[in-house]
């Protein structure tokens, strides 16, 4: 597979979107930065060469919507699989290997721990609301297999590749490491089972994926029929 030029998202480009997210949800930047610093205490520098296989590959960015069970063949057909949160459990139960789990530790930290012990990279994310989970769970992971991430300014071994929810962070991560194509099994922006907070987060995931596809000159099928209604009028969302 041929490598592709990486169009890396720098923090200066991400920060306007981050500020807009903080404003929309009323989140605290100070708490995000504190969470980042707590995670830094458990983090080792991650060997980026472990994701060399992503470059030039089709990456399945598996979401945790109920539709994933009907879209497993999309993940099976991909070269690399990045799983958001509980999507990892569905894939593993179906016998599909996960190449990276992306999680903020809110649902299935035991799966993240087990994968890290097996040598699978886990992108463990810090934000202002999950500081206790960082202290409780990340300390039990195999640190060599933890890719520590933040939505705030990166520091030491804690990195920021862009993105807000587990799912869109997985897409930004795959983009950073040179994926040639992104496919999206298990995504449902209109999932009726989610609460109002999750729905607002899905709105942001949709906006961020729209930003990402424009940066990549790609059309994500998960956004088909939705682009005209997406509110992407946020400073910093230009290429």
Mean pLDDT by 10 residues, the chain (239 residues): 60 95 97 98 97 98 97 98 98 98 97 98 98 97 98 97 97 97 97 92 96 94 94 56
- For residue 82, give the 3-state DSSP assignment: strand
Provide the pLDDT for residue 36: 98
| Per-residue 3-state assignment (H helix, E strand, C coil) for 116-176 | HHHCCCEEEEECCCCHHHHHHHHHHCCHHHEEEEECCCCECCEECCCCCCHHHHHHHHHHH
- The confidence score (pLDDT) of residue 236 equals 54
pLDDT of residue 1: 44
By CB atoms closer than 10 A (0-12, 13-18, 19+), residue 16 is middle
Q: What is the pLDDT of residue 98?
A: 98
pLDDT of residue 235: 47
């Amino acid at each position: 597979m041929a490598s592709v030029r990486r169009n890396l998202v720098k923090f200066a480009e991400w920060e306007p979107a981050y500020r807009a997210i903080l404003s929309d949800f009323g989140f605290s930047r100070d708490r995000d930065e504190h969470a980042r610093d707590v995670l830094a205490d458990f983090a080792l520098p991650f060997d980026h060469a472990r994701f060399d296989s992503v470059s030039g590959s089709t990456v399945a960015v598996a979401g945790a919507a109920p539709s994933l069970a009907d879209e497993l063949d999309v993940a099976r057909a991909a070269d690399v699989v990045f799983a958001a949160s509980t999507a990892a459990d569905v894939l593993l139960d179906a016998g599909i290997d996960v190449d990276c789990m992306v999680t903020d530790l809110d649902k299935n930290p035991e799966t993240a721990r087990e994968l890290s012990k097996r040598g699978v990279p886990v992108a463990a994310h810090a934000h202002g609301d999950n500081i206790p989970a960082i202290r409780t769970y990340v300390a039990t992971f195999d640190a060599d297999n933890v890719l520590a991430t933040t939505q705030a300014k990166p520091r030491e071994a804690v990195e920021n590749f862009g993105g807000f929810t587990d799912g869109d962070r997985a897409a930004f991560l795959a983009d950073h490491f040179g994926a040639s194509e992104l496919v999206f099994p298990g995504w449902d922006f209109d999932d009726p089972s989610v609460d109002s907070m999750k729905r607002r987060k899905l709105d942001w995931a949709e906006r961020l994926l729209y930003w990402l596809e424009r940066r990549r000159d790609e059309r994500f099928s998960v956004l088909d029929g939705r682009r005209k209604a997406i509110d992407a009028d946020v400073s910093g969302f230009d290429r």
